[in-house]
Structure formats: C-alpha cells, structure tokens
Structure 1
Amino acid sequence: MQHPETYLALHHARAADLHAQAEAHRLANAARPDRDLRSRLGWTLVEVGLRLATPRTTALAH
C-alpha cells in the first residue's frame, strides 16, 4: 500500500511539469507576433477555396 505522501509528491512533480510546459508555450507564442495575421490569412484562403470548390445550388426561379 502506498502512502498519501507519495501521491502528493507525484502531484507536485506533475503540477510543476505542467507549469513549465505552459510557460514554454506562452514564451513560444510571444516570440511569434505575426502568427495571428498568418492564421487569419490561412483561414481566409481555406474559406475562399471551399467557396470555389462548392457547386452553386441556387437556381434562378422566375
């Protein structure tokens, strides 16, 4: 049987690891300020591509 202190030590180690990963991710995102523009441009190109690839279904009914 394991002691509660063992679980607590593992929890603290995992929490420290997650905090370090979050900080590394935050620093990596801060190093790329043009990411937002690239992301918006990329999604705009995807939207345009989908509009071009989708056949028109609206018929002129007069």
Structure 2
Amino acid sequence: MHSETHLQLHHVRAAELRAQADAHRLATEAKRPGELRTRLGWTLVEVGLRLAAAPRPAIA
C-alpha cells in the first residue's frame, strides 16, 4: 500500500473514532442530569420522612 494512501486511511479512521468518542461523551453527559434529579428527589423524600416522624424523647 502506498504510504500516502495508508496515511489518508489512518486520518479517516482517527476521525471516525473521534466522532464515536464524542457521541459517547454526549450520551454520557445527557444521563447525568437525570441521575442528579433522582438523587435529589430521594434526598427530599428522606428529609420529608424525618420531618414527619414523631420526635424521639431526648436522652439526658
């Protein structure tokens, strides 16, 4: 194979890999807000349950 042809194929393959990596990164970033929203929601549920629970008597 001619060296310039090989180099051109290398550049094409590198561009394809970069595009795949960018797509994967964007898909991963898109999932993060939902995960944060879920954690925040469960934290709020936990706080609400603690506030709604009957207070325990203080140990002296």
Q: Return the TM-score normalized by structure 2.
A: 0.53
Q: Which residue of 2 aligns with 1:24?
A: 23
Q: Which runs of 5+ in 1 are unaligned?
A: 38-62
Per-residue deviation, residues 6-57 of structure 1 (Å, max 9, x unmatched): 100000000000000000000000000118x8xxxxxxxxxxxxxxxxxxxx
Q: What percentage of aligned pairs have identical amino acids?
A: 57
Which structure has the bigger radius of gyration? Answer: 2
Which structure dedicates a bigger proportion of its chain to helix? 2
What's the C-alpha RMSD, in Å, of the aligned pairs?
A: 1.8
- In 2, Cα distance between the equivalents of 1:15 and 1:9? 10
| Moved beyond 4 Å, runs of 4+ | none
Q: Superposed, which structure 2 residues align to 1:1-62 within 5 Å? A: 2-33=1-32, 34=35
